[in-house]
Amino acid sequence: MTLVKLMRWESMLGLVLVAEVVLFSSLSPYFLNVDTLSDASFNFTERALIALPLALLIIAGEIDISVAAIIALASVTMGLGAAHGVGTPGLLGLGLATGLLAGCVNGALVTVGRVPSIVATIGTMTLFRGAAYAILGNRVLKEYPGSFAVFGQGYLAGPVSIELALFAVFALAFGLFLHRTRWGRAIYAIGANPVASRFAGLDVNRYKFALFALTGLFAGLAAVLLTSRLGSTRPSIAQGWELEVIGIVILGGVSVWGGKGTIMGVVLAALVFGLVTFGLGLMNIPGIVMSIFTGALLILVVAVPAWLQRR
């Protein structure tokens, strides 16, 4: 029964994806081209990488709104590190560690401090972003070593960027973890009924803490990739990304009430999102107008199945 419902959701996303390809390739002759599509992947890979652990967190019944602010904080840390002569491996470690630490702060606030996650992460969102602004002011940090560019600009083989390869590998890993292991099962159970899960002997708080930490770690990874791609750090980096990342997760069919969702859906949603922004960009539609399209798409994909189901 639920499988049928999920299939319907994912096939809906699949249809949207096909419609996008057909639409954009008819509108622009440059669209259906391996190099163009390879470029297009940079539109979503960093956001999609955060969407993976965030999907787990939302399935477990929590949320993290601070992911974009974590990117800013991690990017600032790396920028300062680079200014003090830290090498590329050190910068990678610095970015990941900042993300992990920030995720642990969120996790501790929710599990130890018992603050509702939406409140806690609105707080840390403001805090992390504010710290980035306070440290940097109007400055731009761009003393990154040349080799640092490899993460966000490098290619693994042919048109497959390192970012895209990372996303593919992690999507597979998260899919297997969530859908095939007992820990994934526990995440669903915790989201569907945290009380019964605790009574069944699951350490609910430990799972939640780990998922916040994981989300922070992946925000740190996204910060490494984005900073490497841009080659510079401004405090406004990744501004507004939190809503886009959460949008991808919800578009992917993950229930905001917890307990439901698939990695397949999230991956499809990331592709749908990436193609829309890229296709519209190809047609020279400005970013502000673009957000109208992505917003409308989100409402459409969420509302239509709900409406169909009620009839």
Residues of this chain that bind other proteins (CB under 8 A): 1-2, 180-186, 188-189, 192-193, 195-202, 259
**Using CA atoms, how far apart are residues 213 and 54, in angstroms rounded to an integer?**
10
User: Which residues, in sequence order, are CB contacts of 285 under 8 Å at separation 6+?
Assistant: 293
- CB closer to other proteins out of 46 and 62: 62
Of 297, 239, 232, 308, the residue nearest 268 (C-alpha): 297
Comparing CB distances to other proteins, the nearer of 7 and 196 is 196
The Cα 169–Cα 152 span in angstroms is 16
**Shortest distance, CB of residue 311 to other proteins, whole angstroms?**
14
Pick the closer one to other proteins by CB: 198 or 229: 198
Question: Minimum distance between the CB of residue 217 and other proteins, rounded to whole angstroms?
Answer: 20
Q: How far apart are CA 31 and CA 117, in angstroms?
A: 41
Q: In terms of C-beta density within 10 A (0-12 exposed, 13-18 middle, 19 or more buried), how is residue 21 classed?
A: middle
Q: What's the closest the beta carbon of residue 256 comes to other proteins, in angstroms? A: 15
- Cβ 257 to other proteins shortest distance, Å: 10
84 vs 182, which CB is nearer to other proteins? 182
Element (H, E) at 14: helix 2-27
User: To the nearest whole angstrom, how small is the minimum distance from the Cβ of residue 96 to other proteins?
Assistant: 24
Q: Which residue has the tokens 């109007």?
A: 138
Is the CB of 216 or the CB of 265 nearer to other proteins? Answer: 265
Residue 238, Ramachandran bin (φ over 0: left; ψ between -120 and 50: alpha; else beta): left
